[in-house]
Amino acid sequence: MPDIRDIKPPVDLPSDFLPLFLLAAFCLLCGPVFYLIRFFLGRRPSKILVSQPPWQTALERLADLKKNNLPQEGKIKEFYTQLSDILRQYVEGRFQIKATEMTTPEFLWQLKVAHDLNESQKSLLGEFLSCCDLVKFAKHHPPLEDLEEGLILVERLIQETKPSHDL
């Protein structure tokens, strides 16, 4: 068959390609090392963040929520959403319970096995979060007195559960 030609034999690399090949190998091996050194040396903190305890953050956020006067503006759902977020973030920071990632039933079940709160606090917390869910998801409109009671309840719970050395 004259139309099919045989394959050509391998070609030897010229000897002047050896330095180029060695340089490429060196770059491939040393490149990641230089990158890691630069990465870790370049990661200097720009400023030191001093975090405050979760109860202090929660009490400050409660004060801001009071100042916003959301109930007087008719923003009941926003008020309860922020109030329950304050409470959940406080519980997460204080007791290491992932409250912000749980539904209310999951959160309440987690509280049942937690030993950080007494039964009265657990009960009040359950009633409060159920009320929050009614407002947030069922369009329930509680009277203004209930909103004030919710604020008082959250603040009291924070005050009762913060460490005694910070009282």
Task: Confirm whether 32 is domain-assigned.
Answer: no
DSSP 26-67: HHHHHHHHHHHHHHHHS---SS---PPPHHHHHHHHHHHHHH
Q: What is the mean pLDDT of the segment spanning 43-65?
A: 79
pTM comes to 0.65
Contacts of 59 (CB under 8 A, 6+ apart): 155, 158
Task: Confirm whether 119 is domain-assigned.
Answer: yes
pLDDT of 49 strictly over 70: no
Task: Confirm whether 48 is domain-assigned.
Answer: no
Q: Which domain holds residue 125?
A: 54-166
pLDDT of 122 strictly over 50: yes
Task: Confirm whether 134 is domain-assigned.
Answer: yes
Average pLDDT of the chain to the nearest whole number: 82
Residue 167 pLDDT: 47
Pick from 143, 99, 164, 163: which is nearest to 125 by CA? 99
Residue 80 pLDDT: 85
pLDDT of 145 strictly over 70: yes
Per residue in 13-28, pLDDT (tens digit) is 666 777 888 888 888 8
Task: Confirm whether 15 is domain-assigned.
Answer: no
Confidence of residue 47 (pLDDT cuts 50, 70, 90): low
Q: And the tokens for 165?
A: 């050395």
Could you count the other beta carbons within 10 Å of the beta carbon of residue 126? 16
pLDDT of 115 strictly over 80: no
Pick from 131, 132, 108: which is nearest to 121 by CA? 108
Q: What is each CA distance from 103 to 19, 98, 110, 129, in whole angstroms?
A: 64, 10, 11, 10
pLDDT of 68 strictly over 80: yes
Highest mean pLDDT, choosing among 70-74, 79-83, 107-111, 143-147: 79-83
Q: How far apart are CA 81 and CA 132, in angstroms?
A: 7
Total domains in the fold of the chain = 1
Q: How far apart are CA 24 and CA 18, in angstroms?
A: 10
Task: Confirm whether 19 is domain-assigned.
Answer: no
Which residue intervals of the chain are DSSP H helices?
18-41, 54-68, 76-95, 104-113, 119-138, 144-161
Task: Confirm whether 41 is domain-assigned.
Answer: no
Residue 60 pLDDT: 92
